[in-house]
């Protein structure tokens, strides 16, 4: 028996049915995401910047290595990483790719390739020891997905780190409710098959979430998560495990390590993932989190402060929606935690309402990185 476990009621029965439905959908989605991760074949190259040649092709630019005839496409993510290394503003690059002061497309692409080629050929790029360095190129399906430092830690691979996360979730009987991936990032959520009621009438599940990227689009993260069962929305808690993809310098000899060798050398990181999942599902840790939810439900949150904290993550229309949701909660139109009323009869937000409302906004966001950032904001609002 867990602290805050819901008492028998019609609400709990309905929540259990809803949770069962979420798990059924989540299990199928998780299978698909796992298969995608296992099928991913990444080809790594250590490349001298002087041997990188950008060429224009139709309406985009491609990468050629030295005198080779074959070229590879460049993803927008990798292009952004190249901008970071060369200090060429990404906004300017975007303009050259779309429209810039009336220049024809061929002229814009010629200018763009010239800028990067001069930077890479004439620029001096040094490692931490002050020596000339190469860059790690991560390719998949003949596309450059990652343009990274040779200190990038490949031992934190998505598929490898996913394994201990799922193993420990299974040991704790946590079941999948959500799984998402795109070309750059993978995210999984598993929750206990238990309905909690930290606030009267508010039914939630508790679990763990895993996020990782093989191409420098964020750290390896393992965190707790509170799932509002009826709404199916998530509030992601503070990091339990955060490992940035930074390690020892990759040597030329190591660039073609076998998958078996990489997996063997990843054991320490895999052990850390196991430990963090176990820490998340510790009964005292669950109790403490749900106690935070209980307190947050009665802690008023100044509206101006809420909007100010949201500005870095929510766009203007989403912040406006947040305000509309406050009024709709008062009218009972949306499924969100109760709000209180001030002396004028206007609804006032509390921390639990704010976290739930922001988590609800996240469900409508298609971009996975933004969605996860909004769910993280929801968790921050509980503090």
> 45-93: per-residue pLDDT in tens?
999 999 999 999 888 999 999 888 899 999 999 999 999 999 999 999 9
Residue 138 lies in a domain: no
Same domain, 288 and 221: yes
Residue 308 lies in a domain: yes
What are the residues whose beta carbons fall under 8 Å from the beta carbon of 183, sequence distance 6 or more? 75, 77, 145
What is the mean pLDDT of the segment spanning 179-187? 95
Burial of 186 (0-12, 13-18, 19+ CB in 10 A): buried
Give the pLDDT confidence score for residue 251 in this predicted structure: 78
Confidence of residue 258 (pLDDT cuts 50, 70, 90): low
Same domain, 272 and 175: yes
Q: What is the pLDDT of residues 115-149, one digit of tens each?
A: 999 999 999 999 888 999 999 999 999 999 999 99
pTM attached to this predicted model:
0.91
Same domain, 260 and 326: no
Residue 356 lies in a domain: yes
Residue 99 lies in a domain: yes
Cβ proximity of 285 and 224 under 8 Å: yes
Give the pLDDT confidence score for residue 332 in this predicted structure: 74
Q: What is the pLDDT of residues 295-315, one digit of tens each?
A: 999 999 999 999 999 999 999
Q: What is the pLDDT of residues 259-307, one digit of tens each?
A: 677 778 789 999 999 999 999 999 999 999 999 999 999 999 999 999 9
Residue 329 lies in a domain: yes
Residue 144 lies in a domain: no
Last residue in a domain, options 101, 133, 165: 133
Total structural domains in the chain?
3
What is the mean pLDDT of the segment spanning 335-341? 87
Give the pLDDT confidence score for residue 241 in this predicted structure: 80
Last residue in a domain, options 294, 312, 331: 294
Same domain, 206 and 307: no
Residue 3 lies in a domain: no
Q: Examine the pLDDT at 245 and tell me if it is beyond 90.
A: no
Q: Examine the pLDDT at 335 and tell me if it is beyond 90.
A: no
Same domain, 359 and 242: no
Measured distance CA(322)–CA(315) in Å, rounded: 11
Same domain, 163 and 187: yes
Same domain, 258 and 317: no
Give the pLDDT confidence score for residue 266 in this predicted structure: 86
Short-list 293, 300, 295, 299, CA closest to 348: 300
CA distances from 137 to 4, 5, 125, 152 (A): 49, 49, 15, 10
**Residue-number span of the structural domain to which 118 is assigned:** 49-133
């Amino acid at each position: 028996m867990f602290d805050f476990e819901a008492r028998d009621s019609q609400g709990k029965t309905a929540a259990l049915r809803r949770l069962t439905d979420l798990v059924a959908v989540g299990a199928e989605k998780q299978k698909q995401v796992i298969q995608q991760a296992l099928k991913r074949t990444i080809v790594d190259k250590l490349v001298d910047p002087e041997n990188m040649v950008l060429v224009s092709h139709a309406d985009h630019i491609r990468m050629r290595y030295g005198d080779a005839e074959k070229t590879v496409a460049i993803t927008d993510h990798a292009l952004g990483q190249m901008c970071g290394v060369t200090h060429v503003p990404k906004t300017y690059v975007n303009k050259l790719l779309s429209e810039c002061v009336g220049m024809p497309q061929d002229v814009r692409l010629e200018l763009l390739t010239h800028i990067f080629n001069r930077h890479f050929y004439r620029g001096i790029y040094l490692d931490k020891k002050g020596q000339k360095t190469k860059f790690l190129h991560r390719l998949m399906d003949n596309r450059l997905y990652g343009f990274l430092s040779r200190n990038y830690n490949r031992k934190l691979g998505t598929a490898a780190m996913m394994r201990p996360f799922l193993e420990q979730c299974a040991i704790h009987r946590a079941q999948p409710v959500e799984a998402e991936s795109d070309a750059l990032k993978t995210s999984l959520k598993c929750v206990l098959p238990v309905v909690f009621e930290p606030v009267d009438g508010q039914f939630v599940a508790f679990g763990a979430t895993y996020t990782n990227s093989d191409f420098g689009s964020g750290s390896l993260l393992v965190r707790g998560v509170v799932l509002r069962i009826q709404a199916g929305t998530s509030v992601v808690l503070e990091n339990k495990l955060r490992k940035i993809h930074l390690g020892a310098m990759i040597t030329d000899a190591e660039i073609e390590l076998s998958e078996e060798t990489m997996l063997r050398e990843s054991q320490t990181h895999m052990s850390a993932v196991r430990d963090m999942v176990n820490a998340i599902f510790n009964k005292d840790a669950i109790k403490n989190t749900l106690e935070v939810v209980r307190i947050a439900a009665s802690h008023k949150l100044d509206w101006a402060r809420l909007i100010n904290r949201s500005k870095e993550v929510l766009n203007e229309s989403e912040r406006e929606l947040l305000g509309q949701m406050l009024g709709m909660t008062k009218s009972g139109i949306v499924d969100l935690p109760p709000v209180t009323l001030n002396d004028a009869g206007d609804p006032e937000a509390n921390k639990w309402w704010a976290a739930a409302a922001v988590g609800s906004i996240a469900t409508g966001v298609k971009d996975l990185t933004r969605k996860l950032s909004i769910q993280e904001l929801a968790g921050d609002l509980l503090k």
